[in-house]
Amino acid sequence: MKQSFVRLVPLFLVVLCIFVSVISAQNQAYEHLVRDGKQKPIGHRPVLDDAWGSKPRNDGGQSASAVQEATAILRRIRPSTNRLSRFSKPTGVFGTTAYYAKELFFLLFMNGPPQQDLVTSKPQTRKLSPPLSQAVKLLEDAAAEKNPDAIFMLAEMNFYGNFTHPRNYSEAFRRYHELATLNGNSSAQSMIGFMYATGVGGAVKQDQAKAMLYHTLAAEAGDIRSEMTIAYRHHTGIATPRNCEEAVFYYKKVADKAIAYMRSGPPGGYSMVKDSYRIADDEGGVYGEGASVSSAGPNAKQGGPNSDVHASFDDVLEYLDLMARKGDPKATYNLAKLHYDGSRAFKRDLVSAKKRFLELARMYWTRDGKTKSDVPHGTEKLASKAAGYLGRMFLRGEGMEQSFSIAQTWFKRGIANGDALSQYSMGLMYLHGFGVTKDPVKAADYFAPAADQDLAVAQVRLGALFLDQGDVPTAMRYFDLAARNGHIEAFYYLAELSNQGVGRDKSCGIAAAYYKIVAEKAEIILSSFQEANEAYENGDLETALIDYMMAAEQGFEIGQANVAYLLDQVKPRFTLSSFIPFMKQKLSLVGDAALALIYWTRSAKQSNIDSMVKMGDYYLEGLGTAPDKEKAAACYLAAAETLQSAQAMWNLGWMHENGIGIEQDFHLAKRFYDQALETNPREAYLPVLLSLYKLRLRSWWNTVTNGRVNSIQDDPPPKKDWSFAEWIHAFLEADAAAWENMEVDDYDGTHTGHDGHMPGGDDDYYEDIDSDILESLIILSLTAALAFLVYYRAQRQRRAEQQRQQGQAQGQEGQQQQGQQEDRGMFPQANDPEFLNWQAGGVGH
């Protein structure tokens, strides 16, 4: 009885952990929904007052009133609350145990048939709620009367699943097509082009030619997303020959809109927040922690036991708050900067930022602006930075009422200690006349020291001023410096100069690359990364995939990598039938695998090394395409040539070892294994070590059995590059060693003939030795003579230069003396030759 009870204890613990993990996941989901109760539904495109579909045309018909009534009903519908948040890895012993218990439970007991395709799913059949059903009925009646607002709202609801409406991609396509045919709506044309390009939802078959057609029509009508898509297709040659001029034309249109949006903001312009990130990096990369380029080698998290490399964000935030409460100025500044800038894991909080910046400023200045004494070392620099940010917040009206006078007060305090942000901001006030008289010259005087401190925005403004004055080389130098720091306006100016051929040769390729960078930095006005990230964090993978796919079609490499990664993650789980040949079923994700390969390829073309390796895996295994070992080897070789992917090098070693896709060669296999270990010595050590043991065994057996494969060979010792002095020394040592190794009878006269010569004529032998030494001495003499001539020529040139400089100095001295003679005053000077004549009473005059 006791033994059976002991056996049941592990099972009981596993069940308990599973129960706790499920309960904790539900609690997390509930807390998330309560905390974000006022947020918009995931995947829901809200109907705003100034958005398409909100205000029907006031034509006096029943359709307009029906749309208005339906809009009011839809705004009262709350999103469903039964979606659990994506279960993230917790910290701590108990949390980690619960997490892996859940994973074990799904692996053992919920290992069912393959998952449904993400992009080829059938229309969802779900009963509509009474309010939603009423709103849909009103919209359908209005759409029957050809009301464009009603048609657009129905299309959006079916495509995105807005207002808890079930997705129906076929119905969405029909509505978009109806609207595009009705009045040529550019948004509808853009969505039709997207659906033809991806075949999403199986609504239509993929047709890149039709996708190109509809995107072109939408781009000509001014749709910014289609402009970006068409520019990328012309840039890379998707469904059309590569055309740099067309790519520049459309990228420039997007870049112009991006810069116009940025400059329309508060003083200094809107901040272009970057929402895009690779979701695979949260898991250590495409191949996991240590095997991916993003988390291996130089990109790996390296730190000792006392390092904060592996610390969680909450722990770092708590530590900074603790040190700030103790009065640490550096911690206070870092915490204030974190509140001001915000991050993906930390929402921006301007009120807290102002509070922290004020705390830091009060450490150095009193309330009346006087400097405190006995402040810790380094406080003045940090307080000046805080003054710059406080002035910036008052200048822009961030978290407080806009006040140019208060901003100027803070900027003056920062400028007193050389703060770059304060200098730039004060220059901005004089440039545009914010609270002061407009003075571009004075603005340039403030921009210059800030630019010297490598502040990118100051470098751009100073470059723009030089460009206005016609000093193109100086302007380009400042633009290049700012572009090195990734400033969007710097890339825009460089693109314009390259496109117009001003200050440099006109280059379509460089202009296209710069315009593309500018367009991709304006994520907020053309991409769907923010919605995609929210959907992914909340477990709505379908919405996340659609939104990432939209960004991918526009040419965002991060979007392409995310789409490919999501499609790659929905492969079928291992089941019993997958191990039995006659029970294997045809994969239902063939369409998804082909689509994933497309996006892996596009991402790899934009220099994503992990995507290049993944592309090789698809060709090797025949996922989404016919198996092609040679293409797989080419992909691995291209990734290995970057010297950053140990995975690609190991794969090439394995292919050389087994002769798959390339010639079987054990020596080359060892070389690639060794390169993998050199590239990633920590994570690749064990797999490379085991592979080398097996490879050496196979190579030994191949050598013993006289196999046809090239076995492992010892590399020849590398030849040392000798200097001239080392070569002479080695020559003399070799000559001395040759004399020491000669036998006695080679030169002893007792072993010669009576005449002192060896029979057979030894004179010729020694004459050859003497001639070799003579030739060597002649070569050394000529080399020494050449070196002396070069040295003598350099000395003569140096003397001539010194004489020329002395002549110039004497000439200048003579001019000065001549000038003194012309104005000698009333009486000659004591050192003047005329002094004696004057002293003698002018004798001779």
Q: pLDDT: is 461 or 369 the higher one?
A: 461
- Residue pair 419/388 in contact (Cβ under 8 Å)? The answer is yes
Q: Identify the three-state secondary structure at position 545.
A: helix
Q: How much is the pLDDT for 813? A: 60
Strand partners, 371: 365
Q: Within this chain, do residues 104 and 10 fall inside the same structural domain, yes or no? A: yes
Residue 357 in this model has a pLDDT that exceeds 90 = yes
- The answer to the question of residue 660 being in a domain is yes
- The answer to the question of residue 52 being in a domain is no
Q: How much is the pLDDT for 525? A: 92
The per-residue pLDDT for range 683-696, each reduced to its tens digit, is 889 999 999 999 99
Q: Within this chain, do residues 649 and 630 fall inside the same structural domain, yes or no? A: no
3-state percent helix, strand, coil for the chain, nearest multiple of 5: 65, 0, 35
- Per-residue pLDDT, averaged over 755-783, amounts to 62
Distance between CA atoms of residues 344 and 347, nearest Å:
7
Q: In b/e form, how buried is each residue of 156-180, taking b as 16+ CB within 10 angstroms?
A: bbbbbbbbbbebbbebbbbbbbbbb
- The answer to the question of residue 558 being in a domain is yes
Q: pLDDT: is 830 or 73 the higher one?
A: 73
List CB contacts of 844: < 8 A, sequence separation 6 or more.
837
Residue 725 in this model has a pLDDT that exceeds 50 = yes
Q: Name the domain boundary from 698, 715, 732.
A: 715
Q: Cα-flanking dihedrals φ and ψ of residue 131, to 5°?
A: -65, -40
Distance between CA atoms of residues 120 and 590, nearest Å:
10
Number of domains observed in the structure of the chain? 3
- Per-residue pLDDT, averaged over 746-758, amounts to 49
Q: pLDDT: is 34 or 308 the higher one?
A: 308
**37-41 LR contacts (CB < 8 Å, sep 24+):** 41/79, 41/162, 41/163, 41/164
Residue 587 in this model has a pLDDT that exceeds 50 = no
- Per-residue pLDDT, averaged over 646-669, amounts to 93
CATH number of the domain within which 537 lies: 1.25.40.10
List C-alpha distances in Å: 583 to 116, 226, 572, 586.
Answer: 19, 46, 14, 10
Q: Mean pLDDT across the chain, nearest whole number?
A: 80
Q: How much is the pLDDT for 800? A: 83
Q: Could you count the other beta carbons within 10 Å of the beta carbon of residue 95?
A: 14
Q: Within this chain, do residues 650 and 565 fall inside the same structural domain, yes or no? A: no
Q: Within this chain, do residues 658 and 629 fall inside the same structural domain, yes or no? A: no
The per-residue pLDDT for range 531-578, each reduced to its tens digit, is 999 999 888 888 999 999 999 999 999 999 999 999 988 654 444 344
Residue 134 in this model has a pLDDT that exceeds 50 = yes
User: In which band, very low, low, confident or very high, does the pLDDT at 86 lie, cut at 50, 70 and 90?
Assistant: very low
Q: How much is the pLDDT for 842? A: 44
The per-residue pLDDT for range 599-636, each reduced to its tens digit, is 999 999 999 999 999 999 999 999 989 999 999 999 99
- Per-residue pLDDT, averaged over 80-108, amounts to 53
Q: How much is the pLDDT for 591? A: 53
Provide the domain limits for residue 605: 527-574+586-639
Distance between CA atoms of residues 703 and 678, nearest Å:
27
Helix (H) or strand (E) holding 26: helix 2-35
Q: Within this chain, do residues 593 and 690 fall inside the same structural domain, yes or no? A: no
Q: Within this chain, do residues 681 and 631 fall inside the same structural domain, yes or no? A: no
- The answer to the question of residue 6 being in a domain is yes
Q: How much is the pLDDT for 837? A: 52
Q: Within this chain, do residues 565 and 655 fall inside the same structural domain, yes or no? A: no
- Per-residue pLDDT, averaged over 137-149, amounts to 91
Q: Within this chain, do residues 651 and 625 fall inside the same structural domain, yes or no? A: no
Q: Within this chain, do residues 623 and 541 fall inside the same structural domain, yes or no? A: yes
The per-residue pLDDT for range 393-448, each reduced to its tens digit, is 999 999 889 999 999 999 999 999 999 999 999 999 999 999 999 999 999 999 99
Tokens at residue 650, please?
């190991």
Q: Within this chain, do residues 627 and 657 fall inside the same structural domain, yes or no? A: no
Q: How much is the pLDDT for 28? A: 46
Q: Name the domain boundary from 661, 680, 715.
A: 715
Q: How much is the pLDDT for 105? A: 59
Q: Within this chain, do residues 568 and 633 fall inside the same structural domain, yes or no? A: yes
- The answer to the question of residue 613 being in a domain is yes
Q: Name the domain boundary from 621, 639, 657.
A: 639
Residue 754 in this model has a pLDDT that exceeds 60 = no
The per-residue pLDDT for range 793-824, each reduced to its tens digit, is 888 888 888 888 777 766 666 555 554 444 55
Residue 752 in this model has a pLDDT that exceeds 90 = no
Q: How much is the pLDDT for 768? A: 54
How is 113-131 classified by DSSP, letter by letter?
SPPPPSSSPPPP--PPPHH
User: In which band, very low, low, confident or very high, does the pLDDT at 83 lie, cut at 50, 70 and 90?
Assistant: very low
Q: How much is the pLDDT for 395? A: 94
Q: Cα-flanking dihedrals φ and ψ of residue 518, to 5°?
A: -60, -45
Q: How much is the pLDDT for 373? A: 83
User: In which band, very low, low, confident or very high, does the pLDDT at 226 lie, cut at 50, 70 and 90?
Assistant: very high
What's the predicted TM-score (pTM) here?
0.73
User: In which band, very low, low, confident or very high, does the pLDDT at 27 lie, cut at 50, 70 and 90?
Assistant: very low
Q: Within this chain, do residues 563 and 620 fall inside the same structural domain, yes or no? A: yes
Strand partners, 640: none
- The answer to the question of residue 510 being in a domain is no
Strand partners, 665: 710
- The answer to the question of residue 312 being in a domain is no
- The answer to the question of residue 135 being in a domain is no
